[in-house]
Amino acid sequence: MSGTILSSKGLSVGYGKKVVVTGLEFEVCKGEILTIIGPNGAGKSTILKTIAAQLPLVSGSIDLTGKNISEIDAHDIAKTLSVCFTERITAEKMTCEDLVSTGRYPYTGRLGILSDNDKEIVRKSMELTGIAHLCDTEIRCISDGQRQAVMVARAIAQQPQVLILDEPTSFLDINNKLKLLSILKELARSRDIAVVQTLHELDLAQRFSDKILCIKDGKADRIGCPEEIFSGDYVSELYGIENGNFLPMFGTAEANKITGEPKVFVIGGGGRGIDTYRRLQRQGIPFAAGIIHENDAEYPVAKCLAAELVTEKAFEPISDINIQKALALIKKCDKVICCIENFGTMNMGNKSLLELSRNNKEVIE
Amino acid sequence: MRVIRLLSLVTTVSLLFVTGCEKKKDVAEYDTAGSMELKYAEQFSVDYCENGCSVVDINGDKFLIVPEGVFVPDDTSGMAVIKQPVDNIYVAATSTMDLFDGIGKLDKVTMTSTNAESWSLPVIKEAVDSGDIEYIGKYSSPDYETLIAEECGLALESTMIYHCPKVKEQIESFGIPVMVDRSSYETHPLGRMEWIKLYGLLTGDYDSAEKIFNDKTKAFEELSISDIPDSERKTAAFFYITSNGYVSIRKPGDYVSKMIELAGGKYIFTAEQLNVEDNALSTMNIQTETFYELAHDADYLIYNSTVDGEIDSIEQLIAKNSILADFKAVKSGNVWCTGQNMFQQTTGAADMICDLNAVFMDESESGELTFLHKLN
Amino acid sequence: MNKKRAVRWTVCFVFLTIITAVFFVLELVIGSARLSFGDVLGALSGSGDNAAVTIVRDIRLPRALAAALLGGALSVSGFLLQNFFNNPIAGPYVLGISSGAKLTVAISMTLTMKYGILLNSAEMVGAAFVGSMISMGAILLLSGKVRNMAQLIIAGVMIGYICSALTELAVTFADDANIVNLHNWSMGSFSGINTDDVKVIALIVLPVAAAAFVLSKPMGAYQLGESYAKNMGVNIRGFRILLILLSSILSACVTAFAGPVSFVGIAVPHLMKSSFGTAKPIIVIPASFIGGAAFCLICDLIARMLFSPVEISISTVTAVFGAPVVIAAMLSRRDQKGSM
């Protein structure tokens, strides 16, 4: 990680007189990936467009390679910064190679004729994003995923130091999402390119970013590394999540729990209860779960979905108190589902629960 | 920056515009030995020169007619030179053709801009049909190649050519003199016919032309109508209905209204009534209600059929505009219609006046005159 | 892969040039005066029958050159606008340029006749040019204020309507003869263009078309959309103005000398894009120029000779050939969109 390549001070962005986001202060170093997240309409795209010198900034300043961006010639900006936006290209009769070749424009002469070196760079960019075989295919005839790869190849061919992408993974399937983000990671690492992007997929943002900038209510709310951002209830508050629960550890969400008197008791542990919790939630059945250790993989899920939960401290064998609590709950329920096959030292208490339940409750194993 | 660009463009173009405007060239002067005697014509004049040439002046355009065997003077600046004998004339003015026929020089004309179907005069129609006179396209786009290949000696255009200056310039650039027949601007109807003298001069037989003119106007000059007082004259309107429903009338003061006056009638429209603009056009469009207001009491209505065809009955007339049924002339059955040949047969101007006279004096029993017929 | 394209382009260019040359020669050889090929050759060098020399050198040659140059100008003008509006059926007259020219020509025809002022042809050309430039000026002003392409097209159409309405007003005071004349003018014709005219046309058309060619690179960038073009360093505002300016000058030149000639600007670029299989400006601009020249030469020949000596107006012929091309273009575009 070398020096700062892009930074802003007191930056406000917007359209004409209308200010959309204020108070932006960030620094992006070479080889760093900055992801901007925030609710819809927060102004993320506006920020990107302003950084890319497409929209005039409202106030404050942006520095690119140490110089104020408004003082840099458009031509030089073109050689430093390339973009990949969401607009759909509707050019007719353009092959993929033609499109990627346009990335070389800042480097070619008067008539835009590509030199051998330029052609080589284009070829390499296409290979990097895995679409070299689409050279002669028209861009109107390829899938969305392929098109996105072409656009990224184009941005790469421009040999930028900063790459700006607006929701690059939006239309892609999971495989292509991962592929694209890996390519970006590789570019950042091997070519020291700084990447500034917006993502809606929080789990991917968590995994592939070096820094995350959160935008809310028209200002920059927080900036930090993923561990800082994805902790506690911050993300839930940022997005105002009401219809589910966000699990910062994995960067994923669970549906809302079904409230009410539990009708089923699930004996879970070791992550094996998760499927059952989710199934019961889908069926709309309030349930109780236990006894789950606090360091169990399914603990966060159980916490989200179970109406009542009995837990045990990490690494401790299940105590009698907790067993009693669980039994009290089982009494209220109609049936018991046991998800565990093997019992060990730590969760021997659950075995008791199971045996005791067999006596007077319907048990499903 | 773009404002400057725009400005410079507009300036350049305006300059082009301005420099194209009329430049008065220095015109050569010759010693004159008299000029052509013209009784009624005002749109042209001819001066005879000592050296045998004639200088024709049509509204400022000058032509030097050089008879056969005479040397062309050294200085002919400002004039188009026409060397006699003049052959292979291209006639693009319909009224001119009849004059040529009148002086028996139709054989000098080999090209025209009106096709056979549009000619109503039988002699001319036949000449075009047989190919003696070739149709070479409209006046606005004549076939230049034929003009050159046929070695056209003179192009006689109507005033319509002023709308296409390019055509006139193009023909002149090939060394073919272009003479514009301005007889339609003549205010006196017989002045129109007097152009026959010019064409006689051009084709080398002025004397015959003069004689023909005098014969034709004799009948007219013998009409005694000057002593009919204004209040006793019969009123008449001359009009047609245009394709979008307006009434097109001759302007008061133009030669048709003059013909009516000379025939002892009174043209019902006056200049004051109509707020007439003083300009070069001879017809004007008025609204039906104005026409009604001013002309419903006219004694006679004369329908101009040269534009959309002759009509025979009053029903046909009323079909064009039902308001006409209320007109006094329609109710009394005094509606006449011109024949299509009226404008083409220029030599008949005097006869036309006599026809009108017959109408006003109620001297026609059959309702069939040379140029007019009564609607039944 | 690249080789295949290069071959295709070369073949197409050669073919186009040959067609243009052939029809150019035909324009010289065919006419109402019968001249053999040998006569024409001789006449070009000045020897032979006087009449033949005049006919070939002063009538047919300027006309052929004018048809070629103006056809090329129209096609390039059309392509520039299609690039600008990102719409393959935009044409040089969509911005109301020809309506502006028609207005000034109508005013010159009717008003000056009324006051007995006689115009010469240079003044008529000047009037048409001024009218076109005024329309263009209005569009340029608007393009600075208007962000949206669709709005600009509507503005252009509105300007066209205003000019037409004013023209009709002028025509109300004209007599039938003038109306016919104006109508004839507005149908377009290459007749009556002489050598001096050709010099002026060449002086305007060739440099401007060359300037358009030099704009190939930013135009190629612009095909991706404004954001990407901006990112690649194109000065959008200046580029837009330049495109409109160049396109307008070209179509103004044609309108001034030959009246409005329709469909060439839309049909020819489309034909070229289909034949060459690409929309790259660096290929399509020269192709359109040569293609437009060929197209107009062919149409002019037909307009002249079909009902000789009567000449049909050139717009009639270009419409007959051009309209099917435009319809095919619209259909294929719909298909392509539909298949996605």
Closest Cβ opposite residue B16 in set C119, C126, C137: C126
C38-90 tens-digit pLDDT:
888 888 887 777 788 888 888 889 999 999 999 999 999 999 988 887 777 77
At C166, the amino acid letter reads L
Please give the Cα distance from B30 to A101 (Å, whole number).
Answer: 78
Asked if chain B contacts chain A via 3 or more Cβ pairs within 8 Å, the reply is: no
Neighbouring subunits of B (3+ Cβ pairs under 8 A):
C
Top-confidence range, B354-363, C120-129, C225-234:
C225-234
Quote the percentage of chain C above a pLDDT of 90.
29
Distance from the Cα of A94 to chain C's closest Cα (Å) equals 7
Interface test with A, best of C224, C335, C340 (most A CBs within 10 A): C224
Contact A93 C225 (CB under 8 A): no
Residue of C nearest to B242 (CA): C176
Residue B341's pLDDT is 63
Q: Coil, strand or helix: which one is C232?
A: coil
CA quadruple A322, A327, A332, A335: dihedral sign: positive
At B359, the amino acid letter reads V
Q: Rounded mean pLDDT of A15-31?
A: 89
Residue C12's pLDDT is 94
Residue A161's pLDDT is 93
Name residue A22's beta-bridge partners: A219
Asked if chain C contacts chain A via 3 or more Cβ pairs within 8 Å, the reply is: yes
Please give the Cα distance from C340 to C337 (Å, whole number).
Answer: 6
The domains found in chain A, sorted by start residue, are 4-247 (3.40.50.300), 257-364 (3.40.50.20)
Question: By the CB < 8 Å criterion, does A77 face chain C?
Answer: yes
CB A307 within 8 A of CB A260: yes
Q: Rounded mean pLDDT of C236-241?
A: 86
The answer, yes or no, to whether residue A117 has pLDDT greater than 60, is yes
Contact C59 B145 (CB under 8 A): yes
Residue A335's pLDDT is 87
Residue of B nearest to C310 (CA): B137
Contact C214 A110 (CB under 8 A): yes
Please give the Cα distance from A261 to A329 (Å, whole number).
Answer: 10
Residue C147's pLDDT is 67
C169-207 tens-digit pLDDT:
887 777 666 677 777 777 778 887 888 889 989 999 999
Question: By the CB < 8 Å criterion, does A98 face chain C?
Answer: yes
Report yes or no on whether pTM surpasses 0.90: no
Residue B25's pLDDT is 53
Question: By the CB < 8 Å criterion, does A29 face chain C?
Answer: no
Q: Which residues of C touch A87 (CB under 8 A)?
A: 225, 227-228
B53-77 tens-digit pLDDT:
889 999 888 999 999 888 888 877 8
Q: Structural domain boundaries of chain C?
A: 2-339
Question: By the CB < 8 Å criterion, does A102 face chain C?
Answer: yes
User: What kind and span of H or E run contains B248?
Assistant: strand B247-250
Angle (CA) B157-B162-B164 rounded to 5° is 95
ipTM score of the complex?
0.81
Q: Coil, strand or helix: which one is C239?
A: helix
Q: Report DSSP state, residue A115.
A: P
Contact B143 C122 (CB under 8 A): no
Residue of A nearest to C212 (CA): A111
Residue C339's pLDDT is 37
Q: Coil, strand or helix: which one is A54?
A: coil
Phi-psi sector, B255: left (phi>0), alpha (psi -120 to 50), beta = alpha
pLDDT less than 70: residues of chain B? 1-26, 224-227, 276-281, 340-344, 364-365, 367
Q: Coil, strand or helix: which one is A61?
A: strand
Please give the Cα distance from B228 to A52 (Å, whole number).
Answer: 95
Residue of C nearest to B146 (CA): C33
Closest Cβ opposite residue A92 in set C217, C227, C279: C279
Which pLDDT band holds residue C340 (cuts at 50, 70, 90)? very low
The domains found in chain B, sorted by start residue, are 32-219 (3.40.50.1980), 231-374 (3.40.50.1980)
A298-308 tens-digit pLDDT:
898 998 899 99
Q: Count the Cβ atoms, other than its own, within 10 Å of residue B25.
A: 10
Which top CATH class is C2-339?
Answer: mainly alpha
Q: Coil, strand or helix: which one is B220?
A: helix
Distance from the Cα of C232 to chain A's closest Cα (Å) equals 5
With CA atoms as reference, report the closest residue to B41 among B200, B163, B278.
Answer: B200
Distance from the Cα of A127 to chain C's closest Cα (Å) equals 16
Residue C119's pLDDT is 65
Residue C18's pLDDT is 96
